[in-house]
Amino acid sequence: MTDSAVESYVAAFDELTSNGSAPSWVQSMRRAAFERFAALGFPTTKNEDWHYTSTSPIADQEFVLLDSASGDVRREELAPFMFGASGWYTMVFVNGRFAPELSDCGKLPKGVKLRDLASAWTAAPEVVDRVGKLASYDVHAFTALNAAFMHDGAVVQIANGVEIDQPIHLLFVTDANAAKGMMHPRNLIMVGANAKATVIESYVSTSEAMYFTNAVTEVSLADGATLRHYKMQREGSRAFHVSTTEANQARDSHYVSFSFAIGGSLTRSNVYTTLDGEGGGATLNGLFMLDGEQHSDHQTQIVHAKPNCFSRELYKGILDDRSHGVFNGKVYVHPIAQKTDGKQTNKTLLLSDTEHVDTKPQLEIFADDVKCTHGATIGQIDQTALFYLKSRGVNESLARRLLTYAFAADVLETIEVDAIRLDLERMTLQRFV
């Protein structure tokens, strides 16, 4: 960590806090978070959590804070990122700011509230009071950086017992105006007792600009709640992307996360959940596909804090060219979390022989009556299967794409929203042409 890296953020921070319209409690949180970020600095590879990923490409850049509306995105430009679905409740953010004219969240079912953070600060202080409660800025530098610069995002509230009929799509899009800019979206997703919802969080770009997204999403699930949370990282090819999701799960709740990542040049995804009530379950799945010089790091953390919970984790990576993939899956089982049932699997498919993968399962178990397994494999295209397909007339390129798709098929099958699954299947088939 270099002081100059932090120094470059000081001016942007002073500007934000001097003319901001945010309430005073936000301003004081920003100040405290910025101080913490300055103290922590950008993590280096000496930091165990960042051992395989150097943040210096991000630290070495100077980014301009995109805190006012700057984008020029037309509705039809969003079509490729909408999964061909209609009837979804969509909040669109352009270059970090809510764009109501592009959003479709007027007619919401009873018990569902969607707000943008910048207006919720004044309109619903009791809600946004929960900002920072789950994602603490004390520990992680990027979360601190986000808290220092947060200015917009989505606030999703599902009341007790409400089962929402259609997915909610939070679509963060950047355009060419985002060049050299940074965004720090902060989202809150609150799912009430026995409520059920699907939220898609997309990060996409209509340009090849270089920019930095640093998102934090805080998720709370009350007793018996179910949330299916799909994160689609399809940033522009020169983008930097760090995102952190921190979930807290009450009794009998189920959090299902799917993290899909194909974009960006240097990306890091953190998905953390705490099973904080008995009988809950966490399912964290992911698929990342990289080529060229892409670097994509995926860290998950499941904390079993109460007994009788289960966790399932399946992350798959497909790597080509000189790309670098990282998976680090942590599972902590507290002493009281007896009867924990945990399973973690990480599989990587290497399509050439110049890519690089680091995989690190980390199980820390302090209870004695638990069932926890983990496994990691790294492999290449099966030559026997390749020959079998070719012997049926299928050409080399299609045969390889089919086998690549086949590798990802089981994790794609876990996607319960048909429109997303079909689109991701198509993307998987077409990714490595």
Partner 1 sequence: MSLLEIKDLQARVGDKPILNGLSLTVDRGEIHAVMGPNGSGKSTLAQVLAGNPAYEVTGGSVTYDGNDLLEMDPEVRAQSGIFLAFQYPVEIPGVSNAYFLRAAYNEIRKARGEEEIDPLEFADLMDEKLAMVDMHADMLSRSVNSGFSGGEKKRNEILQMAVLEPRLAILDETDSGLDIDALRVVADGVNKLRRKDNATIVVTHYQRLLNYIVPDYVHVLANGRILKSGGKDLALELEDKGYDWVTSGSPVGAGAARVGA
Q: Which of 32, 69, 363, 402 binds partner 1 (CB under 8 A)?
A: 402
Query: Which value, to the nearest 10 degrees, does the dihedral of the CA atoms of residues 210, 247, 103, 206 take?
Result: 20
CA distance 199 to 216: 15
User: Is 395 a binder of partner 1 (CB under 8 A)?
Assistant: yes
What x-and-dash track marks residues 330-369 binding partner 1 by CB under 8 A? ----------------------------------------
User: Is 392 a binder of partner 1 (CB under 8 A)?
Assistant: yes
Q: Which of 123, 139, 336, 409 binds partner 1 (CB under 8 A)?
A: 409
CB of 403 to partner 1, least distance (A): 7
Which of 73-81, 149-157, 285-293, 383-391 is the region at the interface with partner 1 (rule: CB under 8 A)?
383-391
CB 324 within 8 A of CB 291: no
Q: Which helix (H) or strand (E) holds 268?
A: strand 266-275
Q: Say if strands 97-98 and 89-94 run parallel, antiparallel, or are unpaired.
A: antiparallel
CB 293 within 8 A of CB 263: no
CB of 289 to partner 1, least distance (A): 15
Query: Which residue in 94, 69, 231, 81 sits closest to 174, CA to CA?
Result: 94
User: Is 418 a binder of partner 1 (CB under 8 A)?
Assistant: no
Query: What SS3 class is residue 368?
Result: coil
Which of 47-55, 67-75, 159-167, 391-399 is the region at the interface with partner 1 (rule: CB under 8 A)?
391-399
195 or 287: CB nearest partner 1 = 287
CB of 418 to partner 1, least distance (A): 15
Query: Which residue in 425, 386, 85, 396 sits closest to 289, CA to CA?
Result: 425
CB of 427 to partner 1, least distance (A): 15
CB 182 within 8 A of CB 209: no
Q: Which residue has the tokens 């209509």?
A: 206
368 or 433: CB nearest partner 1 = 433
User: Is 396 a binder of partner 1 (CB under 8 A)?
Assistant: yes
Q: Which of 271, 408, 420, 424 binds partner 1 (CB under 8 A)?
A: 408
User: Is 407 a binder of partner 1 (CB under 8 A)?
Assistant: yes
- The phi and psi torsions of 405 (rounded to 5 degrees) equal -60, -45
Residue 51 is classified by DSSP as T
User: Is 383 a binder of partner 1 (CB under 8 A)?
Assistant: yes
19 or 391: CB nearest partner 1 = 391
Kindly give the residue spans of alpha helices, DSSP state H, lying in 125-182. Answer: 125-128, 141-149
Query: What SS3 class is residue 428?
Result: helix
CB of 387 to partner 1, least distance (A): 5
366 or 388: CB nearest partner 1 = 388
Report, in angstroms and rounded to the nearest whole number, the Rg of the chain calculated over CA atoms.
21
Which spans of this chain sit near partner 1 (rule: CB under 8 A)? 382-385, 387-396, 398-399, 402-403, 405-410
